[in-house]
């Protein structure tokens, strides 16, 4: 929750969670497990925190206990996460405590009072660092534990992960401890169900309830169902079924425009045509993906805002025109494989800085020296990453737009080393 900048999409994420909890209450489930990435960041906007808390309290007041582990998004090693605060407030339990004994991780169990299930797990970490823990996990101790057991985790499993999601760190299936009735997985934005061991246990990745990226919405529009699982056991505590429950708040329409050496004008004509043909868009999300190479001109020559305004006039809830894969004939494409958004940003910056050259028409030696010191080689990478971080800052609660903009500009100037004197000599 909180991943979208668009407030309407943020609201849908909350509504999806609310609908999921309502289904759980109607079905009279014994307890709920959440396998990480509950929020998009470790310290999210307080409004979203309050709304999420209100939704969870509806469940806990019905006697439904909630168990939650960290994901790679809501975990932080350097400060207090909102997950820690909500756990301290008694809103849910974290079954992630462990001890390091003889260089082995020994996990502790939390026993659910209503059902006697024993729950434990490993939280996610940034850039897949949690994968290292599985190699020093005391699986023998976990497997010898008596009783009904559930294992929660937040890592991709290499044998189960689809090829288009197989990037970054993953763990082998053999690294999971045996003898658990249910293995709840997080991190992957795809629904996966796998019978494990003797067929009486199941590994489940439910995927997101709504999604947090264009790709998530694209997958949904092309048939990927979003929701969660209700796991049922009989009186002998054997798995009887794993039911997927769909959560659907809004319809999503997806269209692709393929460009094959077209001009800017021809691409605009294709956009006009496809928007003209779409009817009854009220309250829906519209995704348009443009792929291909322009014969002339640049992507920036196309006024995409004009087309988004046309979609808005048709009362769409939200619209996206994805032009990442639209390039001009002289553009050198970048292929970047990375674990996280931060990794992708750093690698793209590194590639672009490596190919950056100072404009030979610049004659002012002060400007040249400034560019040389800030935008070339390793200094350029450092400046770009710091500037990107400064520009990502969010508006503080009760901060005015004017004060927010002023603060961001000042932080950007500090990053670039622009004093008042330098401002007069360097064209920002």
Active-site positions read: 73
C-alpha dihedral (212, 217, 220, 222), degrees to nearest 10: -150
Q: What is the DSSP letter of 93?
A: B
The SS3 call for residue 104 is: strand
Task: Give me the residues paired with residue 211 across strands.
Answer: none
4 CB contacts (<8 Å, ≥6 apart)?
10, 13, 212
Q: Which residue has the tokens 């330098």?
A: 422
Task: Give me the residues paired with residue 185 across strands.
Answer: 153
Closest by CA to 286, choosing from 297, 277, 295, 294, is 277
Question: What's the CA gap between 415 and 428, in Å, rounded?
Answer: 13
Task: Give me the residues paired with residue 246 across strands.
Answer: 227
Question: What's the CA gap between 233 and 122, in Å, rounded?
Answer: 24
Q: Which residue has the tokens 């209450």?
A: 25
Question: What's the CA gap between 354 and 202, in Å, rounded?
Answer: 48
User: First-to-last CA distance in the chain?
Assistant: 36
Question: What's the CA gap between 413 and 428, in Å, rounded?
Answer: 9
Q: Is the separation of the CB atoms in 362 and 368 below 8 Å?
A: yes
137 C-beta neighbours (distance < 10 Å), count: 20
State the DSSP H helix or E strand holding residue 50, giving kind and residue range, or none if neither. helix 46-60
367 C-beta neighbours (distance < 10 Å), count: 15
Strands (E), 283-343: 285-294, 318-322, 326-328
With b for 16 or more beta-carbon neighbours within 10 A and e for fewer, the 191-224 pattern comes to: bbeeebeeeebbbbbbbbbbbbeeebbbbbbeeb
Q: Is the separation of the CB atoms in 288 and 271 below 8 Å?
A: yes
Query: Between the CA of residue 201 and those of 172, 177, 178, what are the distances in Å?
Result: 17, 12, 9
């Amino acid at each position: 929750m909180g991943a979208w900048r668009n407030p309407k999409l943020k609201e849908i994420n909350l509504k999806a969670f609310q609908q999921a909890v309502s289904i759980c209450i109607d079905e009279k489930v014994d307890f709920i497990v959440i396998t990480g990435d509950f929020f998009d960041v470790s310290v999210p906007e307080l409004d979203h925190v309050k709304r999420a808390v209100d939704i969870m309290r509806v469940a806990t007041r019905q006697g439904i206990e909630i168990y939650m582990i960290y994901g790679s998004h809501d975990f932080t090693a350097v400060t207090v996460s909102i997950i820690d605060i909500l756990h301290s407030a008694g809103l849910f339990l974290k079954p992630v405590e462990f001890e390091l004994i003889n260089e082995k991780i020994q996990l502790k169990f939390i026993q659910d009072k209503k059902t006697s299930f024993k729950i434990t797990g490993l939280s996610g970490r940034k850039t897949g660092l949690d994968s290292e823990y599985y190699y020093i996990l005391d699986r023998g101790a976990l497997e010898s534990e008596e009783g009904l057991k559930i294992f929660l985790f937040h890592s991709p499993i290499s044998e189960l992960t689809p090829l288009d999601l197989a990037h970054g760190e993953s763990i082998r299936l053999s690294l999971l401890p045996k003898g658990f009735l249910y293995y709840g997985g997080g991190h992957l934005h795809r629904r996966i169900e796998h019978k494990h061991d003797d067929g009486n246990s199941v590994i489940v990745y439910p995927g997101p309830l709504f999604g947090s990226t264009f790709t998530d919405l694209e997958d949904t529009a092309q048939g990927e169902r979003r929701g969660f699982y209700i796991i049922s056991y009989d009186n002998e505590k054997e798995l009887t079924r794993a039911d997927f429950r769909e959560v659907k708040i809004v319809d999503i329409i997806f269209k692709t425009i393929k460009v094959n050496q077209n001009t800017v004008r021809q691409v605009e004509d294709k956009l006009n045509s496809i928007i003209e043909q779409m009817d009854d868009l009220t309250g829906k999300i519209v995704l348009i993906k443009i792929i291909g190479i322009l014969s002339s001109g640049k992507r920036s020559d196309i006024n995409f805002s004009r087309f988004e305004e046309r979609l808005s006039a048709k009362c769409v809830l939200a619209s996206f025109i994805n032009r990442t894969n639209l390039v001009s004939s002289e553009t050198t494409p970048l292929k970047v494989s990375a674990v996280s958004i931060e990794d992708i940003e750093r690698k793209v910056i590194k590639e672009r800085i490596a190919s950056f050259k100072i404009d030979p028409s610049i004659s002012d030696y002060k400007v040249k020296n400034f560019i040389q010191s800030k935008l070339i080689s390793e200094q350029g990478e450092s400046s770009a990453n710091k500037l990107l971080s400064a520009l990502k800052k969010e508006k503080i609660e009760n901060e005015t737009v004017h004060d927010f903009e002023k603060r961001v500009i000042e932080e950007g100037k500090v990053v670039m080393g622009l004093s008042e004197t330098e401002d007069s000599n360097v064209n920002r």
